[in-house]
């Protein structure tokens, strides 16, 4: 890991700060500092960590938070946090004295990553943000599901405002539907939100017929997978549906809500991905980024509560984004399809998923 200059062979920025360890939700809570400690320990020992450039985040200010959140909600989090002790935004979303700063460092970390990949200096075109609290269940006026401020939604707004990126795709593979992110962009056709999640499951939303409204109609795509869904269905959904619809959308940036509670060993869902599944998903998404938006991509940590699978899956995610993973060899959609067909991933395992995928294909206007 290099902390200073960008050397040859550096593939990604990794944004992290020890301050993220200070936010707590209370005793025995699954969303706790040990999650990031496990990731950082694994990264330290990783054979490819010389390809990572470590970066510290800077705090987002209130004006920036207001791109997504209401003043009232920002002030509420600030006030609860400055009061010390532990208070709650909902049954399981805690606020302690460090929460506000941790959450604005998370949002600011996303901005920092975007500044790096859109900035004037040549360097990596991807970043991974390992922050907590997570964000995709955070709404403009309320936090929920362990989430305080919605970093990925803020990042999309920031990239539009500061860098004039008109269209952005957000791909969310956390086991839970990113209801906060969907809400922020539901009637906004400039940000295409795509989510894979267990359904029905927490938070209750995320059915396939939630497709956006107004000018956002057609730019919200949910894959409501049944418990037990494994990699082949994800890969089918990505290759057969996500690739063509994102290609048609032609974003200038892809952001990823990376939640690892969709791993088979994580108790927060009954989905069945493995660590290597995340590598394959990221090879596919990186390839899309490569031929649609000059490789520019930001990956933001959301859930993932089983320390070993979380840390292994994060490393596989990074590997899937690196040139050495083979993703750089895929130049077009056909190349991507060939890559995964060769991998034997063209099967759809479950009947309900097959019916849902067929309906989504019809809805999306993708040829069968
Ligand atoms: Zn989750």
Mean pLDDT on 187-213: 97
Q: Write out pLDDT tens, residues 32-77.
A: 999 999 999 999 999 999 999 999 999 999 999 999 999 999 999 9
Average pLDDT score over residue span 259-265: 98
User: What gap in Å lies between CA 11 and CA 6, rounded to an integer?
Assistant: 9
- How far, in Å, are 6, 7, 51, 365 from residue 121 at the CA level? 10, 13, 17, 40
Distance 266 CA to ligand 1 centre (A): 10
| Residue spans per domain, the chain | 15-364
CA of 163 to the centre of ligand 1 (A): 30
Q: Which of 139, 145, 152 minimizes the C-alpha distance to 203?
A: 145
User: How many angstroms separate the alpha carbon of residue 100 from the centre of ligand 1?
Assistant: 21
Q: Which CATH class is domain 15-364?
A: alpha beta
Radius of gyration for the alpha carbons in the chain, expressed in angstroms and rounded: 19
Report CA(261)–ligand 1 centroid distance (Å): 6
What is the rounded distance in angstroms from the CA atom of residue 290 to the CA atom of residue 277?
A: 20
Give the mean pLDDT of 155-169: 98
- C-beta of residue 115 within 8 angstroms of C-beta of residue 303: no
pLDDT of residue 161: 98
Confidence of residue 120 (pLDDT cuts 50, 70, 90): confident
Which residues are CB-contacts of 38 (< 8 A; sequence separation ≥ 6)?
307, 308, 310, 311
Predicted confidence (pLDDT) at residue 97 exceeds the cutoff of 50: yes
CA–centroid distance, 3 to ligand 1, in Å, is: 30
**Percentage, residues of the chain above pLDDT 70:** 94
Quote the CA–CA distance of 287 and 328 in Å, as a whole number. 7
DSSP per-residue letters across 145-168 = TTBSS-HHHHHHHHHHHHH----E
> Band of the pLDDT at 4, cuts 50, 70, 90?
very low
Contact between 79 and 64 (Cβ < 8 Å): no
> Which residue stretches of the chain are H helix?
34-45, 62-65, 71-82, 99-118, 151-163, 179-185, 231-237, 243-249, 275-292, 307-321, 333-342, 351-364
Is the pLDDT confidence value at 195 over 80? yes
CA 204 to chain CA centroid, Å, is 19
pTM tops 0.85: yes
Q: Say how many Å lie between the CA of residue 77 and the centre of ligand 1.
A: 21
Cα of 133 from ligand 1 centre, angstroms? 12
Task: Give catalytic residue positions.
Answer: 137
Give residue for tokens 């550096």: 10
Tell me the angle at which helices 34-45 and 307-321 cross, rounded to the nearest 10 degrees: 50
Q: 297-301 and 253-258: which strand pairing? A: parallel
Residue 221 host element (H or E):
strand 220-225
220 Cα–ligand 1 center, Å? 19
């Amino acid at each position: 890991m290099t902390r200073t200059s960008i050397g040859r062979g550096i593939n990604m920025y990794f944004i992290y700060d020890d301050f993220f360890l200070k936010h707590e939700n209370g005793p025995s809570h699954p969303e706790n500092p040990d999650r990031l400690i496990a990731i950082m320990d694994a990264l330290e020992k990783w054979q490819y960590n010389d390809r990572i450039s470590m970066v510290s985040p800077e705090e987002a200010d209130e004006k920036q938070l207001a791109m997504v959140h209401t003043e009232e909600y920002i002030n509420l989090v600030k006030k609860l946090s400055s009061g010390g002790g532990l208070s709650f935004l909902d049954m399981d979303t805690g606020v302690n004295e460090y929460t506000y700063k941790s959450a604005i460092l998370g949002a600011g970390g996303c901005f920092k990553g975007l500044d790096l990949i859109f900035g004037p200096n040549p360097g990596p075109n991807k970043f991974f943000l390992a922050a907590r609290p997570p964000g995709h269940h955070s709404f403009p006026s309320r936090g929920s599901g362990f989430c305080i401020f919605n970093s990925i939604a803020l990042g999309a707004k920031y990239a539009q405002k500061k860098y004039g990126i008109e269209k952005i795709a957000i791909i969310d593979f956390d086991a839970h539907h990113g209801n906060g992110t969907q809400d922020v962009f539901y009637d906004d056709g400039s940000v295409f939100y795509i989510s894979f999640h267990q359904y029905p499951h927490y938070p209750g939303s995320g059915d396939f017929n939630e497709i956006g409204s107004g000018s956002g109609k057609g730019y919200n795509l949910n894959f409501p997978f049944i418990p037990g869904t494994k990699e082949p269905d994800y890969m089918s959904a990505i290759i057969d549906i996500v690739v063509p619809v994102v290609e048609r959308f032609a974003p200038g940036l892809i952001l990823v809500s990376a939640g690892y509670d969709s791993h088979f060993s994580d108790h927060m869902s009954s989905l069945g991905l493995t660590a290597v599944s995340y590598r394959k998903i990221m090879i596919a998404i990186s390839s899309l980024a490569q031929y649609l938006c000059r490789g520019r991509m930001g990956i933001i940590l959301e859930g993932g509560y089983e320390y070993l699978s979380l840390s292994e899956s994060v490393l596989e995610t990074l590997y899937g984004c690196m040139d050495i993973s083979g993703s750089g060899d895929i130049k077009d959609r056909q190349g991507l399809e060939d890559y995964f067909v060769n991998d034997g991933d063209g099967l759809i395992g479950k009947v309900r998923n097959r019916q849902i995928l067929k309906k989504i294909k019809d809805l999306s206007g993708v040829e069968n």
